[in-house]
Structure 1
Amino acid sequence: MKGITFLLLALSCGLTQAQMGHPNYPDNGNLIKDLAARVEKLATVTEKMGLMETRLQTTERELEELKKATSGKHQVAFSATLRESGSGDTGPFNVDTHLKYKNVYSNMGNSYNPATGIFTASVKGMYYFRFSMMNSATPNSVVSLMKNDQRLASVWDTSGTDANDIGSNAAVIPLEVGDNVYINLAANRLIYDDGMNYNTFSGFLLFNM
């Protein structure tokens, strides 16, 4: 920018000298026109570069604002399966029971507790949860996705001659900080699992609210 400004000044001086009949710049109409055209062209280029510099500064500010807006965003995601090893039925129990998915694949944000089977929201937002269930040799399985004490979605198989059916369900729900989400095994029901990991519980934060 400084170099272009210097050139503009130099050409302007040259034009003035030519107009004044300076000995180094004879009074030549073509020279004056040429200098005038060059000054005008450089002025246009300078204006365009000024606009580009303004746009660049605006873009840099927007990038900084975006960095500030996205920094500190919570990252919450988890996925777990019911058994760490072995095979067999879980249940039946006399009362509704929280299933404890102990084989944790991921737990970004540490919001899921494998000791209790409960996911606790650490940030207000919209979340996605999914779970799957495998029934036992005798179909007698009912599991539900719970938000606090509210039943949101269920998978069941309590009749039929075929064994080891599998089903899944999912939900997108809003959560406040401290809300609990877990999978509930209904009283007097049971599910089956083995090393194939049929029973899963996963969830993640879609966006903050």
Structure 2
Amino acid sequence: MPHVADENVNIMMKESNTSIPWLENSSYIVNIHSSGNLDKRQQINRQDRLLSPLPTTGPNAVAFYAVMSRPLTNPGDQHTFIFDEVKINAGNGYRPHSGVFIAPNTGIYAFTWSMRLYGTEHHSAQLMVKGHVHGAVFLTVGGSSNNDNVSGTGVAFMNEGDDAFIRTATGNLGKIESDSSGYTAFGGWLIK
């Protein structure tokens, strides 16, 4: 025999005249424990969604995300980061051999970057847009066994052909870490 709360849920579901689009062509299954309480797991038959085509990007979609596949040892001042492992490059604006993003379309872009350090290292990573410092993050690690990460976000108007990249500032010390435990990364996308 179902619990009273279960009966109320079943009645509400039967008497409801509201339209829930994602339920209209799906079966709704509620699991009931032997105690009569509703199971927290609710299952939706998603066959109609699984059979639909994969989403595609529009002709003007621009988005990229890339990581360093290995650490960068003592990069020095004003050294451009090379993010050689590209995860996505819609619009083909990111150049993995140079580490530079070249805007394929005019518009407003959002950028994000991160840097991971270990031990007693300290570095500043600057977002350069059209040859000027547009944003910067700084991280100093305070001990031999510390492992820290810093990230930054910037938004910029770019004309088609303008460039953006990440570089070190001045007064850096040590290695910039990047591996599957924590990547140093760079990404961006066209907002509008």
The TM tier, using the shorter chain, reads 0.5 to 0.7
- Which residues of structure 2 form unaligned runs of 5+? 1-57
Whole-angstrom CA distance in 2 between matches of 1:149 and 1:175: 12
Aligned to 2:189: 204
Q: TM-score, normalised by structure 1?
A: 0.58
Does residue 99 of the first structure (1) align with residue 81 of the second (2)? yes
CA deviation vs aligned residue, 1:51-72 (integer Å, no higher than 9, x gap): xxxxxxxxxxxxxxxxxxxxx8
CA contact (8 A) 2:117 2:141 kept: no
Paired AA for residue 65 in structure 2: S
Aligned to 2:28: none
CA contact (8 A) 1:139 1:164 kept: no
CA contact (8 A) 2:113 2:153 kept: yes
- Once the two structures are TM-superposed, the CA of residue 73 in structure 1 deviates from its matched residue by 5.1
- Which residues of structure 1 form unaligned runs of 5+? 1-71
Aligned to 2:180: 195
Q: TM-score, normalised by structure 2?
A: 0.63
CA deviation vs aligned residue, 1:150-195 (integer Å, no higher than 9, x gap): 1111121235226221111101110011111001023544311122
Whole-angstrom CA distance in 2 between matches of 1:93 and 1:120: 23
CA contact (8 A) 1:127 1:203 kept: yes
CA contact (8 A) 2:118 2:141 kept: no
The one of 64, 78, 82 aligned to 1:78: 64
CA contact (8 A) 1:102 1:115 kept: yes
Kindly tell me the number of residue pairs found equivalent between the two proteins. 132
* Higher strand fraction (1 or 2): 2
- Once the two structures are TM-superposed, the CA of residue 115 in structure 1 deviates from its matched residue by 0.3
CA deviation vs aligned residue, 1:96-144 (integer Å, no higher than 9, x gap): 1110101111000100000000000111100010011111322212111
Paired AA for residue 199 in structure 1: T
* Higher deviation after alignment, 108-117 or 183-192: 183-192
CA deviation vs aligned residue, 1:63-91 (integer Å, no higher than 9, x gap): xxxxxxxxx851111111111xxx5x413
Aligned to 1:32: none
Aligned to 2:102: 120
Whole-angstrom CA distance in 2 between matches of 1:93 and 1:131: 17
RMSD of aligned alpha carbons: 1.9
Paired AA for residue 125 in structure 2: V
CA contact (8 A) 1:119 1:181 kept: yes
Percent of residue pairs bearing the same amino acid type: 30
